[in-house]
Structure 1
Amino acid sequence: MDENAQKTLDRALEQLSEWKASFGEWEQDDSLSVSEKKEQEVFARLVQRLKCNFPFHHPVYAGQMLKPPHPLTWAAYAMAMSINPNNHALDGGPPSSEMEKEVLADLAHFFGYGEEFLGHLTASGTIANLEALWVARESHPDKKIAFSENSHYTHHRMCGVLRVEGIKVPLKDDGSFDLDATDPQEMGTIVVTLGTTGLGEVEPLDQILPWAKKHGIRIHIDAAYGGFFRTLKDSGIIDGTCWKLMEEADSIVVDPHKHGLQPYGCGCVLFKDPTVGKFYKHDSPYTYFTSEDLHLGEISLECSRAGAAAVALWATLQLFPLEEEEGFGPVLKKCLQAAQNMYELISTSEKLKAYKKPELDILGYFPAEAETTSEISEKSKAVFDAGMREQSFYLSLYKIPAGTFTQLHPEYNVDSDQVTILRSVFMKPEQKAFVKELLQRIEKAI
């Protein structure tokens, strides 16, 4: 945390302490006391253990989808956690529940939904997608749920949890869905991913939308990773076609703990039709009594949920509006430019080749000096290991079916079922200025 954020947090905690004291003097029970010596000893060991993490905060880390929360975001989270509100029922956290409703309205408006919608925050995108698919099942109980070959494994897994048949829609060479390979009469919902977690691919919502409407099929958008890139739909830096159509979907999932500057865990699910709330209807003999207003726990499969997550997201959206020229837009633009700059640099490299041009801020690439798919995998793993061993850079690996790989790179001989390539996720705006240095370090390792 930087010095200004630390001062802000200290002042805020002091003001909260004054509020706590306003209810009268009290002392912590002795059973909860810890000696200063033991406290220092435990936290000294804790610091050493936490130092064993990879440097997620630094631009040298371009591996998995791990984006540090903004210092002011986790300051807000820490403030709320000193109270520890629970956003299940209003009496568990009246202010944080109101903040959650406010951020949901902001997100619904951002994605193009009207004033009437239903939604809430969740512990993760996985849980958010589970709820969306659960509503899909309840809406069409005898129908299947479809998703592409590139969709997150969550969808197949959650279909198993829900005891719904999930079907994978094959993709054509251009990335479009092979809708002729499916029977629309069997489908109740189709999932469209705007920002796959593999390579950040934006699936063709513009292709699927008219087809789904023609056949009465619901559309669920999994924008867990890519959702906040909608801020750039009119910027020209990305193709805004699909992003502008998001309001046509029946449900949307986004993960603020990915590109929303939030700490784990903070997911969100939104439904365009608020009447799906009927599927959540339940009774609790002791929970919903402090207010006649809707309690968030009445429209959620989860019960207890951290009110601090809502507080942190509320503070973040006050500090960083969902706009192209202010707030999130400039941050996401630099992340995109980092991937694009790395792609351009690799195009002139003698040691690396890009797998394909990035659509968002994720780039796949591999060592150029190879003749076969197995050799590419071997060399990619060696580069990955070298970075970890020398702590000079941190990448991730990505597996691609060999047939898919050679559609773009037919010059390589196929001698394996899969090809493992290098993968970088440029989630930090600071990486725009760092990719040249990163490339030099990778080439040195090769």
Structure 2
Amino acid sequence: MTLETESLGLLQEALSRLEEGFHSLPKVEHSPNLDALRIVLLEVAERMQDNYPYPHPLYVGQMLKPPTEIARLAYMLSLWINPNNHALDGGRASSAMEKEAVAEIAKMFGWEYHLAHLTSSGTMANLEALWVAGNLHPNKKVVASSQSHYTHSRICGVLRIPFQSVLCNSLNRMDIAALKKLLQEDDIGTVVVTLGTTATGSIDPLPEILELQSEYGFRIHADTAYGGYFTLVDNLDDSTRAAYDCLKNVDSIVVDPHKHGLQPYGCGCILFKDPSVGKLYKHDSPYTYFSSEELHLGEISLECSRAGSSAVALWATQRLLPLIPGGEFAGYLSKSRTAALTIFEKLQNDSRFIVAFPPELDIVVWVVKSQSASESSRLAKEIFKVAEQEKLYLALANLPKELFLESGEGINWDQDSITCLRSCLMKPEHLDWIDRIWQTLDAVTTKVLKLSMSIAT
């Protein structure tokens, strides 16, 4: 929290600059009760202590990445205006900044022409993508891998679009043979391709799916909510790089700036390759927004009121950290990937663990070696609990046994799934803390296994 305590003077200077734009207005006297504010704010600070330490490098659990400094400052500054990016009346400057920011994201994916806007979340962005897909291919089925985010099946239920999941292979990617079988047997309108699955960060084989598209004519929606920004990095493996290089050929893309884009929640983004899908959004509003005849963002969004502050923070971040290969922002992601590869190598060389597949991005998943799936799951949960006591914060993931059948380990599959330990090494600082992270995991695992053996004997 050094940023906030040392940047209040900078924020005050920026506020003074902001106020210069409104100096011609009559002054409004407002004297807040600072004593009352102090009491409540300190109470908030105490209540907020009841959280995991998400910004700290020893937190390697869920997909929680702190916003960058410029995003926090720009967001706070913009709240003095509190713009609404539904229409230009609600936020002229922030609407222009949103258009510029999403154009940079589209350019990152190789799109010069596009229709795009920010959303309140990746879920809302995916909803818009599937809503458009359902309008363009009515009554046709949407399919996504069995390891895709559950939001796709839920959204299809909301939109009354038929949905089916596709089996994954041993690398946790969509199985091409299974997809082709579905395409031959059913009327598929849209295939959702995930680049960065939630559990393991796996990458669906987009090049092969594009080949099938040329034969079967379905839409491709790329859910890159987690993994989209990795298109900028220089240390992906060949098959992963090939998938990212094909992204410009899909029909729509979702990416979440509030994940690897270093933004506060909620800031999602939906992008369409064909701008003409904007006609599906057209609506008439008889009572709002008459000060401008320009196209406003509310005309290309299912959401109405949207936080203009999110656009301001994103614009400022991309101004400071451009979305270019080899840049500082890309370097952050490369460090996260290197951290994941480093932990993976250590796990792979440790006889106490099983790692069925290497990380494709910065998420690592591993199993505690044991005679049965149920015992391995129990040990994973115990390591998770003891690690937290030692200030190392991991995550758990429940994965199907099919992902581990080819690992060569003689696990007694007394249940159909297994609880794995999981780490999202998504902060660039994780690379500098790898030794500390590994030493703690090593010590915790030794302690748990020793205790387990003593109880068994």
TM-score by length of 1: 0.94
Counterpart Cα distance in 2 of 1:138 and 1:120: 19
Equivalent residue, structure 2, for 1:26 = 28
Q: Is this contact kept in 1: 2:143–2:163, CA < 8 A? A: yes
Secondary structure in 2 aligned to 1:419? strand
Counterpart Cα distance in 2 of 1:417 and 1:364: 17
Amino acid at match of 1:292: E
Equivalent residue, structure 1, for 2:373 = 373
Q: Is this contact kept in 1: 2:139–2:162, CA < 8 A? A: no
Range with bigger deviation, 412-421 or 331-340: 412-421
Pairing of 1:70-89 with structure 2 (within 5 A): 70-89=68-87
Give unpaired runs (5+ residues) of structure 2. 446-457
Is 2:140 aligned against 1:148? Answer: no
The alpha carbon displacement at 1:56 in A equals: 0.5
Amino acid at match of 2:146: E
Pairing of 1:265-276 with structure 2 (within 5 A): 265-276=266-277
Equivalent residue, structure 1, for 2:92 = 94
Equivalent residue, structure 2, for 1:392 = 391
The alpha carbon displacement at 1:409 in A equals: 4.5
Match of 1:118 among 115, 119, 132: 115
Equivalent residue, structure 2, for 1:437 = 436
Q: Is this contact kept in 1: 2:170–2:404, CA < 8 A? A: no
The alpha carbon displacement at 1:18 in A equals: 3.5
Equivalent residue, structure 1, for 2:16 = 14
User: Residues 425 and 304 (structure 1 numbering): CA distance in 2 closer, same or farther, change over 3 Å?
Assistant: same
Amino acid at match of 1:80: S
Secondary structure in 2 aligned to 1:256? coil
Equivalent residue, structure 1, for 2:452 = none
Amino acid at match of 1:418: S
Is 2:425 aligned against 1:426? Answer: yes
Deviation track 1:154-192 (CA, whole Å, cap 9, x = no partner) reads: 100000000000011122345333223303550111100
Secondary structure in 1 aligned to 2:324? coil
Range with bigger deviation, 434-443 or 253-262: 434-443
Counterpart Cα distance in 2 of 1:145 and 1:352: 37
The alpha carbon displacement at 1:385 in A equals: 1.0
The alpha carbon displacement at 1:41 in A equals: 1.5
Counterpart Cα distance in 1 of 2:158 and 2:122: 16
Amino acid at match of 1:258: K
Match of 1:43 among 38, 41, 53: 41
Equivalent residue, structure 2, for 1:309 = 310
Equivalent residue, structure 2, for 1:362 = 363
Counterpart Cα distance in 2 of 1:82 and 1:319: 22
Secondary structure in 2 aligned to 1:152? coil
Counterpart Cα distance in 2 of 1:20 and 1:57: 36
Equivalent residue, structure 2, for 1:249 = 250
Q: Is this contact kept in 1: 2:180–2:212, CA < 8 A? A: no
Amino acid at match of 1:374: S
Deviation track 1:99-122 (CA, whole Å, cap 9, x = no partner) reads: 0111121111111113x3111100
Pairing of 1:279-294 with structure 2 (within 5 A): 279-294=280-295
Counterpart Cα distance in 1 of 2:236 and 2:179: 29
Secondary structure in 2 aligned to 1:183? helix
The alpha carbon displacement at 1:350 in A equals: 4.2
Amino acid at match of 2:377: S
Question: Root-mean-square deviation (CA), in Å?
Answer: 1.7
The alpha carbon displacement at 1:35 in A equals: 3.2
Counterpart Cα distance in 2 of 1:124 and 1:22: 38
The alpha carbon displacement at 1:38 in A equals: 2.3
TM-score by length of 2: 0.92
Deviation track 1:118-154 (CA, whole Å, cap 9, x = no partner) reads: 1110000000000000000000112111111111001
Equivalent residue, structure 1, for 2:134 = 137
Counterpart Cα distance in 2 of 1:297 and 1:409: 54
The alpha carbon displacement at 1:318 in A equals: 0.6
Counterpart Cα distance in 2 of 1:419 and 1:356: 15
Pairing of 1:223-242 with structure 2 (within 5 A): 223-232=224-233, 239-242=240-243
Counterpart Cα distance in 1 of 2:253 and 2:119: 13
Secondary structure in 2 aligned to 1:66? coil
Give unpaired runs (5+ residues) of structure 1. none
Counterpart Cα distance in 2 of 1:135 and 1:160: 15
Deviation track 1:248-286 (CA, whole Å, cap 9, x = no partner) reads: 000000000000000000000000111111111111012
Range with bigger deviation, 315-324 or 222-231: 315-324
Secondary structure in 2 aligned to 1:380? helix
Range with bigger deviation, 56-65 or 140-149: 140-149
The alpha carbon displacement at 1:358 in A equals: 0.6
Match of 1:157 among 154, 157, 167: 154
Counterpart Cα distance in 2 of 1:172 and 1:235: 23
Is 2:328 aligned against 1:327? Answer: yes
Equivalent residue, structure 2, for 1:415 = 414
Q: Is this contact kept in 2: 1:206–1:241, CA < 8 A? A: yes
Pairing of 1:289-300 with structure 2 (within 5 A): 289-300=290-301
Equivalent residue, structure 2, for 1:199 = 200
The alpha carbon displacement at 1:353 in A equals: 3.3
The alpha carbon displacement at 1:9 in A equals: 2.1
User: Residues 235 and 354 (structure 1 numbering): CA distance in 2 closer, same or farther, change over 3 Å?
Assistant: closer
Equivalent residue, structure 1, for 2:454 = none
Counterpart Cα distance in 2 of 1:274 and 1:118: 5
Secondary structure in 1 aligned to 2:123? helix
Range with bigger deviation, 433-442 or 35-44: 35-44
The alpha carbon displacement at 1:5 in A equals: 4.2
Amino acid at match of 1:422: L
Q: Is this contact kept in 1: 2:137–2:189, CA < 8 A? A: yes
The alpha carbon displacement at 1:4 in A equals: 5.7
Range with bigger deviation, 417-426 or 401-410: 401-410
Counterpart Cα distance in 1 of 2:287 and 2:297: 15
Counterpart Cα distance in 2 of 1:75 and 1:85: 16
Q: Report the identity percentage.
A: 46
Equivalent residue, structure 1, for 2:210 = 209
The alpha carbon displacement at 1:236 in A equals: 5.5
The alpha carbon displacement at 1:23 in A equals: 1.5
Counterpart Cα distance in 2 of 1:25 and 1:168: 60
Equivalent residue, structure 1, for 2:450 = none
Counterpart Cα distance in 2 of 1:293 and 1:35: 42
Secondary structure in 1 aligned to 2:325? coil
Counterpart Cα distance in 2 of 1:77 and 1:59: 24
Counterpart Cα distance in 2 of 1:44 and 1:95: 33
